[in-house]
Structure 1
Amino acid sequence: MVVPATAGQLRENLSDMKIGDYIVWKYDNTISGYIFGGSTNGYTEIPLTGNPLASMPLKYFWYAIKVDKGLLIADRVTSNTITWDWLNSNKFVEGSPRIISETSGVVRCPSGGVIYADANGKKSNADLGLGAFPTINEWDEYIKNGHLGGKVQPNDDNVWHHHNVFSWAKESPAIGTWTTNAGTSLSATNTSRIVRGYESRSDNRGVAFTGSSASQNYIGFRPVFEYKEV
């Protein structure tokens, strides 16, 4: 099992989790339900770059990391070849209501910004390697720059397994011409959607976009679970 490289602890219950801790997150298609914790016997671990949507096993698992109060982010993409349009039609972009192990919340995509950020945290059409605008987005706050209480190294692929795969974000990009740090000009349209990750590319496209109907084995769904923590 590929356990995320956080100094936090593996927990069995959400109520015991501190920031930086992680928990087994399972899906059982025979009951159409998510489950937190418990044994992984009989469950298939999802590869670090996800599993093709069309060939998902009946019972599978990955890990979720607590990044903030009432907020867990998957340590990997779970399903690839999945389109933003499919996620949206099934309410996984903004949030699909779920009760997981007796906890009510929503399963959704992470937020990832709408365009590049400049040194002042404002919009930039050119990639300066400073993440996305608005700078308060979940990808930059927790994955690219997050220490999670000193339990992880920011942008660590051994935690997030994101350097060789894009994750769909919630947002549509700012329409217009974007210039990558390699000097390539790209045009965002009203059918484009934000993807984050894939930082092993030569042009380090940590902030990018593609068509909402794109179905590729290097683009996938990284589930977030947002719940009310008392």
Structure 2
Amino acid sequence: MAVVGQQLTAPESGWKRYDDKNPCFKYQGQWADYVYSSHYQGSHKATSIQNDKVSFKFYGTKLRIIGYRSSEYSTSIEIKIDGIAYIYSQQGASQFQTILFEATGLMLDQHLVEIKKLDASGTNAYIGLDAIDIDSTGRLLHPDEVTSIYDLSVGKRIRCHYTAGSNQFGTFSDLGKETSDFIPSASTATPNGDFYWICVGYDYLERLKLVADRNIQIGISWDTLNAAGIVTGKEIYFTEVPSAKFNIRLLTGGISSTDKDNEWDKIIVESNLGGTITPGDNNVWNWNGVWSLTSTTRTEIGATARVVRGQAFVANYSHVYTPDTSSTSGPVGFRPVLLSSLPSFEIESKELIPSTVWYTDTGTITLSASITHLNNIQIQYRILVNNNQVYPTEGYTSLQPTPTTIVVTFDKTLLTERENLIELQVQDEYGNKTSWDYTIIKENIDTVTAERRFEFPGEWNQEDNSKISIELGGGLKLVEGVLNQDYYVTTTNLNHIITLGRSNIINVVVDGSDDIIENVNFIEDMTTPTPLGAGYVSEYDLRLNRFTDINTIAVIIK
């Protein structure tokens, strides 16, 4: 078995290799290509700029970083795997395709990796990446990549496959899957490879809008695409999401070079996709060297002049004629837009009873809901209480047709005191998910709102302090929501309203000074005022174990 520091020109058994030019790598900074036949597939990427980095995700349990080792390379390269940082060196005797770093024994899952140059430019100036090796059954993913269309948001991307014959509209398939190598960034007339759809937002019909990250085909004319219905929009389907509706068309390009109110300028040239990219970045959009056909007619030239964009620089503007498959300044390509009306399934008529339980209560809680799905796709579900699965014991229920009604009961003893999060998680037979959550409060204390009005006849002195408190279970008392403190009447708080904390209230206690007569008045279904003698403590027994029937307490001191 190979070890760190050893040259490894091909992956060992149980591993597979991805080259540094793979579109799944996200380079940030001033990385450049260096061509030499001894590198894996003839070149590698390197940078001398501090804090330049490359990131990617992979699915698997092990990782090797393959690169060129040299005395001119860094001794301080940071690699983070799922946020955990390690340091490795790329400095040493000259050797191509060297194992620079290795991690094994990782959990079988997706892992986010970031490699960054820590030291400044100068001595040990460079870091480089030639390739990575991962599990032979694993998969490399872009850091912004998702595998389900339901997980897309602006700046995220999803993989897709496209195959076509020369000057023919082709077939899209395998949404979210790694099927083959990527279509070259310079494209091809007979594509049979993968590319990315990048999410750029929504259209006016609130359909998800995605744009291909490259021209997926060259040598195809505007007339060919128009005959296939692509210029104005054609409905297509993906078996991965059979109930979703997809429409494919061309970008708009502006009726003149000064017209910026079009999709090419607004998306490709100007947008940073919510801060996830640099606007116009060729590493994202692969516009360099290929014109992209648009749906727009350049009317100032003629009815058959169709606008093309890109090629030499991102904002470049020109035209070809409808039968043309190329231009004198470069090939003409097909870069589609995908619009998606996602299938929806709804959790309806949701009910969970009760919303509050007392800590001594026993019995069960019932959750009921109706679930519908577009085109009656089958669904399955599970229920979690505080992130612990309670039904079924593991996984999801078996698939069942929609619409369907579910009724599930679970024991109240599963609840903890205070708030409890109840989740109903539903997924359809293709793995698309939705959920509903609800909060149940398990109480061992109660709530009361107290209104206190203090009225003093004649002259009142500061020395004539009175204090009021609420007596709780366990010998405690509550004032202003604070345990074991006294509330004193002052000239500034003669009228007072307090919302007390939650508690099992026993008594209201009024402790007055010798020269004040106190009246205690409980409004809202309580007794009439009870006169008390000077200097006495009034204890009014509420005779309620759970104080849920009284909205307001008014204490009036005269």
- TM interval, shorter chain, is 0.7 to 0.9
Assess if the C-alpha contact under 8 Å between 2:163 and 2:191 holds in 1.
no
Structure label with greater radius of gyration? 2
Instruction: Give 2:289's aligned residue.
Output: 164
Structure 1 contact 48–76 (Cα < 8 Å) conserved: yes
- Aligned residue type for 1:95: G
Distance apart, 1:215 and its partner CA: 1.1
What is the rounded CA distance, in whole Å, between the counterparts of 2:296 and 2:308 in structure 1? 9
Distance in 1 between residues matched to 2:157 and 2:315, nearest whole Å = 28
2:195 is equivalent to residue 62 of structure 1: yes
Question: Offset at 1:5?
Answer: 4.4
How is 1:118-133 mapped onto 2 (pairs within 5 angstroms)? 133=259
State how far apart, in whole Å, the 2-side matches of 1:136 and 1:154 are: 16
Q: Name the counterpart of 2:332.
A: 219
Q: Hey, what's the Cα distance between the residues in 1 that align with 2:255 and 2:25?
A: 28
Q: Deviations over 1:155-188 (max 9, x none)?
A: 100000002111000111122xxxxxxxxxxxx2
CA-CA distance at 1:21 after TM superposition: 0.6
How many correspondences in the alignment? Answer: 192
- 1:35 positional shift: 2.7
**1:85-126 CA-partner distances (Å, limit 9, x unpaired):** 000001111111012232212111111111122xxxxxxxxx
Of 150, 153, 161, which aligns to 1:18?
Answer: 153
Q: Is the 8 A contact 2:147 2:177 kept in 1?
A: yes
Aligned to 1:152: 277
Alignment counterpart, residue 262 of structure 2, candidates 134, 137, 140: 137
1:116 to 2:116 alignment:
no
SS at match of 1:142: helix
Equivalence map 1:44-63=2 (5 Å): 44-52=181-189, 55-57=190-192, 60-63=193-196
State the 1:3 CA deviation: 3.1
CA distance in 2, matches of 1:144, 1:167: 13
Aligned pair partner of 1:189 in 302, 314, 319: 302
Report the TM-score when normalising by structure 2.
0.33
Map of 2:317 onto structure 1: 207
User: What is aligned with 2:173?
Assistant: 34
Deviation at 1:207, TM superposition (A): 1.4
Alignment match, 1:104:
245
| Cα separation, 1, equivalents of 2:263 and 2:25 | 18
Give the whole-Å Cα distance in 1 for the aligned partners of 2:254 and 2:322.
16
2:226 to 88, 91, 94: 88
Query: Equivalents in 2 of 1:138, 1:34: separation in Å?
Result: 25
Output the amino acid matched with 1:68.
G
How far did residue 38 of structure 1 move? Answer: 1.7
Larger fraction in strand: 2
8-17 or 68-77: which moved more? Answer: 8-17
Deviation at 1:33? 4.3
- Contact kept, 8 Å, 1:172 with 1:192, in 2: the verdict is yes
Q: For the residues of structure 2 that align with 1:28 and 1:63, how far apart are their CA atoms?
A: 14
Contact (CA 8 Å) 1:4, 1:160: kept in 2 or not? no
* CA–CA distance in structure 1, aligned partners of residues 280 and 171 of structure 2: 33
Task: Return the letter of the residue paired with 1:172.
Answer: T
- Computed over aligned residues only, the root mean square deviation of the Cα atoms, in angstroms, reads 2.3
Deviation at 1:218, TM superposition (A): 1.6
Aligned residues of 2:219 and 2:331 also touching (Cα < 8 A): yes
Q: State the match for 1:76 in structure 2.
A: 214
Q: Give SS of 1:193's match.
A: strand
Distance 2:148 2:316 in 1: 33
The one-letter code sitting in structure 1 at the alignment partner of 2:148 is: N
Percent identity between matched residues is 26
Aligned-partner residue type, residue 35 of structure 1? D
Shift of 1:27: 2.9
